[in-house]
Homo-oligomer: A and B are copies of this chain.
Amino acid sequence: MGTESRLVRWICWLTVITAFFMTGFLIGWFARPTSTDTSNDEDSSRSMRDFLDEMRAENIREHLRKFTRLPHLAGTKQNLRLAEEIKEEWLEYGLDSVEMVPYDVLLSYPNTTQPNYISIVDHLGNQVFNTSLAEPVPEGYENISDIVPPYNAFSAQGQPVGDLVYVNYGRTEDFSQLEREMKINVTGKIVIVRYGKIFRGNKVKNAAFHGASGVVMFSDPADYCATGVQPYPDGWNLPGGGAQRGNVLNLNGAGDPLTPGYPAKEYTFRYRLEEGVGLPKIPVHPIGYHDAIHLLKNMGGPIPPNNWKGALNVSYRIGPGFTDTFQTQKVRMNIQTNNQVTRIHNVIGRVRGAVEPDRYVILGGHRDAWVFGGIDPVSGAAVVHEIVRSTGRLLRRGWRPRRTIVFASWDAEEFGLLGSTEWAEENAKVLQDRAVVYINADSAIEGMYTLRVDCTPSLHTLVYKVTKQVSSPEVGEEGMSLYESWHKRDNWTDDRDAPRISKLGSGSDFEAYFIRLGIAAGRARYTKDKKTERYSSYPVYHSVYETFEVVDRFYDPSFQRLRAVAQVRGGLIFQLADSQLLPLDASQYADSLTKYAHSIAQLGQKHQDALITYGVSFDSLFSAVENFTTAASSFHERLKTLDRTDPLQVRMANDQLMYLERAFVDPLGLPGRPFYRHVIFAPSIHNKYAGESFPGIYDALFDIEHAANPRRAWEEVRRQISIATFTVHAAAMTLTPPA
């Protein structure tokens, strides 16, 4: 072999070897994942399917059965025992950790030896009629002790005596009508008010503001009986002996009345009872419609307008006082309810996130009930229990969510959202930094018609996506998705062709998370047909008749509806915890803001002259909303080209999505309500239940035509528009590229 050919051969060799080396190198280079973030959306969606399929109707029935055997009022032994049971089972299901978190908060109970009641007394002071001391106990529960009689928690103590005045629903407008049109003054009178339309605490606040010395609340069949339905136990209507319990606080998000702003721990400073937040200064007591007839039937005074008339066979005269031969009779309230600082217990369960343990997806609902809590809250708690079980099953199969999931069983919701608010207060800083979303899980069913979702606009898209993956629970709709079933029944006709989603109001545990801390939030439950069913809430609400049976016999015999709700709540949690990119939609927020801006401007435009006189304009708000809309759509445009293999790029985008809701919170709070801080969504000061958009502007405009000082009143409107404008601009800024 010549040297030349040997050289050629060596060159060939070298070339081949180099080629193989390079091939190896390149394969090695590209085979190596460039990121520790090995999220895989396909795996995730397979797990989602497993997760939803794992939830069983019969299990939910079991949980409901088990959790409704005994009363479990907040602050009682039974409710602590239930907490311990839940903790044990969550651990058994496989959560990473479950802890009990106690607080010492102000609760309120009737005096066990001196019962509360209302009397009609004659001119000698003899009681000629007394309201009943308890509801007739439903069959099968006769031997149960510790059923708390109907009462209004946090009522003041006292025995006011006086003439009755009927004030309809006790709304701001009812009292206005009473004073302005009927010229009736309630000062020193006992007002009788029907439940419904607004939160009962607002009724009491209005009554006290107008000088009433006491409040009697009653459930009118017009508001608490559906037509063609029998009273419980033959149907799901409220019987005449049933009454609605409930607190009459005006907390405006403060949580424990004695420790506003701070968790009620052993070291926490407590205000004196007289200084407590939101405690009414007058006695309040609830009665059923059988008792109400006795109080109403002999009332004198003017005949009321038709919309003040309920469905009882009485004339609904306004008073004050009784008529004719009954004129000398008065009404006396006998209220001995006690406030006392009591220990409550939240149960907090956790699943550690695999990739971003410092991002929290929270599913929380309360455990405490007025009595058995068949609907409120156990229909919801049973659903959470099944979601936890399903989560545990997936964990055992090796799945672990990208983010941390927190499950919460709150205590003392019925006493003012106390458990959830104290925990939010204790964890405020960590939640501010890390909470992605809060999904609420109170009552899962209040009707038999279709789904109801209230949530922040950024969750709309996800809610539609999830409900498309859930089957309709309705008989005859096999193969139909929940989305289609819902869409068919409750279309969002005015705006778009999709199922209606509503604004979050208040009255459940999401309040501190959403309205105070600015964490994206939502709730889902099964509901009635609002177009045809005009009663308030559901008829047996907060009565002893909220049993296992009311659900098992009437609301959801197959437990398919509760299963569907479980799949919606669980599906939301799953997607938010496991998607690589957070499924939050800023553009939906933009659409909603546009709608809200138009509707609040329309409300203002009712006062064209005043707008001109006082130089009030909504232009800046519209321009801010436009700016936000552009920022949101550019943000989502950029997301499309995001390098999903770069964990920091993903994290930065997710941070922008997570903090968007936070941007709508003003640390200064709404006027006079330091714990209601969300500038876009909060209840009006006139009704805690309903969510208003741009609540600051809304309240400033409320009844402005009767303002004592119109110039000041319109100045406040201008100020509120300016705050809303600023807030929307600030939120837009969080969506622009960070540098």
Contacts and interface: CB of A to CB of B under 8 A. Distances in A.
Contacts of A263: 726
Nearest to A404: B739
A16 interface: yes
User: Which of A263, A624, A730 has the most C-beta atoms of chain B within 10 angstroms of its own C-beta?
Assistant: A730
B36 A36 contact: no
A651 B359 CA distance: 12
Interface string A638-660: 00000000111101100110010
A228 interface: no
Interface stretch (A243-251, A276-284, A348-356, A566-574): A348-356
A663 B667 CA distance: 14
A529 to B, nearest CB: 41
A237 to B, nearest CB: 46
Contact of A267 (B29, B265, B428, B725): B725
A141 interface: no
Contact of A739 (B28, B357, B674): B357
Contacts of A461: none
Contacts of A21: 20-21, 23-24
Contacts of A647: 35-36, 647-648
Interface string A229-246: 000000000000000000
Size band of the interface chain A makes with B: 35 or more
B356 A726 contact: no
B36 A358 contact: no
A360 B719 CA distance: 31
A24 B28 contact: yes
Contacts of A24: 20-28
Given A25-B25, A36-B646, A738-B404, A730 B655 contact: no
Determine chain A's interface SS by DSSP, over half rule. Answer: helix
A97 to B, nearest CB: 9
A339 to B, nearest CB: 19
Contact of A655 (B35, B352, B358, B649): B358
A137 interface: no
A37 B433 contact: no
Copies of the chain in the assembly = 2
B356 A652 contact: yes
A34 B32 contact: yes
A668 B516 CA distance: 12
A430 to B, nearest CB: 5
A33 interface: yes
A273 interface: no
B646 A648 contact: no
Given A659-B433, A733-B427, A35 B32 contact: no
Interface in A587-646: 620, 623-624, 646
A722 interface: yes
A426 interface: yes
A362 to B, nearest CB: 12
A623 B662 CA distance: 32
Nearest to A260: B668
A600 B270 CA distance: 22
A399 interface: no
Contacts of A295: none
A662 B29 contact: no
User: Which of A21, A267, A352, A404 has the most C-beta atoms of chain B within 10 angstroms of its own C-beta?
Assistant: A267
A289 to B, nearest CB: 44
Contacts of A350: 739
Interface string A252-280: 00000000011101111100000000000
Contacts of A404: 738-739
Nearest to A24: B24
Contacts of A646: 36
A599 B266 CA distance: 24
Contact of A25 (B28, B648, B733): B28
A734 interface: yes
Interface string A6-23: 000000000011101111
A731 interface: yes
B262 A723 contact: yes
A718 interface: yes
Given A24-B23, A32-B34, A718 B668 contact: no
A429 interface: yes
A739 B362 CA distance: 13
A262 B726 contact: yes
Interface in A56-107: 96
B655 A433 contact: yes
A434 interface: yes
User: Which of A21, A37, A646, A733 has the most C-beta atoms of chain B within 10 angstroms of its own C-beta?
Assistant: A21
Contacts of A1: none
Contacts of A667: 667, 677
A360 B262 CA distance: 30
A124 interface: no
Contacts of A731: 429
- Pick the 6 closest A-B CB pairs, nearest first: A28-B28, A24-B24, A358-B738, A267-B620, A269-B722, A25-B28
28 contacts: A17-B17, A20-B24, A22-B24, A24-B27, A24-B28, A25-B25, A26-B28, A29-B29, A29-B31, A29-B32, A34-B36, A35-B35, A36-B647, A262-B722, A267-B722, A268-B722, A269-B718, A269-B721, A357-B739, A358-B652, A358-B738, A426-B730, A428-B730, A429-B659, A429-B734, A432-B662, A433-B734, A651-B651
Given A35-B36, A429-B733, 9 more contacts: A17-B20, A24-B24, A28-B28, A33-B34, A35-B647, A267-B725, A268-B722, A268-B726, A350-B739
